[in-house]
Amino acid sequence: MSPEKKNDEPQTAALRPTTGQVIAKAAASAGEAHPLLEVVAVRHGMFGPAGSGDTSGYGGLVTTVVMPGPSERPYGGWFDEVVDVLAEVLDEEGPGYAAAIEYVVVENGELNLHVAPEHLVAVCSALRDDPDLRFELSLGVSGVHYPHDQGRELHAVYHLVSITHGHQLRLEVAVSEADPHVPSTTSVYPTNDWHERETYDFFGIVFDGHPGLARIMMPDDWVGHPQRKDYPLAGIPVEFKGATVPPADERRTYR
């Protein structure tokens, strides 16, 4: 082995932490309860056999799953103006910007506001009602499950659009699996009704104040929430014209 090769090895190892390793980042603001993750996980391989039977080369893939951290000013474009106006409105009429907004992320040309769950409705109201903001349309609510984000495993994501100003942004709140409660936004955006039901059904996030929170896709007596990452890939045999198809996780190895 050449000297050049030996010198490269420590650098390569540093870029490839072991599976399941989570590197915590210091909180962006003082007093934040949970650190922000930089590395969520490291995935090895892709699909198929994990041993010598894999001749595709995909088994050697190493993928680091990274979450972006807080962004610093200036955010760029119209982002700074929107954040400034929102801060002014929240400080004058709401709970205060520092209390309501945990941090701001600008990633892939998109503005993301991470909101304290207890102040979500106040932030939505300010974004909808202020004439300089006027985010009057919510495109829906999505759920995300980060099992390694201890104390913040479940995230609810809101996609807002200002038709008036031609802007789009994203709100995100994080809660724990042990206390998965988020205020419902149906009083501000009534069309979030079914979206919150779907997020509750698939992720188990409970939207307090929802007018009729119930499962929307799975049966009412279904156990578990199918889109959480710790939920089995399959597990229920499917009967079709007298034949039984085994669950997907019994037919092939997935990663």
pLDDT in tens, 84-132: 999 999 999 999 999 999 999 999 999 999 999 999 999 999 999 999 9
Per DSSP (E only), the strands in 116-166 are: 137-145, 154-162
C-alpha 24/C-alpha 239 separation (Å) is 46
Q: How many domains does the chain have?
A: 2
Range of the domain at 173: 69-255
* 101: amino acid identity, one letter: I
**Domain check: are 58 and 81 in the same one?**
no
- Whether the link from the prior residue into 70 is cis, omega within 30° of 0, is no
**Domain check: are 146 and 28 in the same one?**
no
Which of residues 34 and 140 earns the better pLDDT score?
Answer: 140
C-alpha 73/C-alpha 145 separation (Å) is 29
Q: Report the range out of 144-148, 162-166, 212-216, 234-238 with the highest average pLDDT.
A: 162-166
- Mean pLDDT within 139-163: 94
**Residue 241 in contact with residue 32, Cβ under 8 Å?**
no
Q: Residue 219 domain-assigned?
A: yes
What is the pLDDT at residue 220? 84
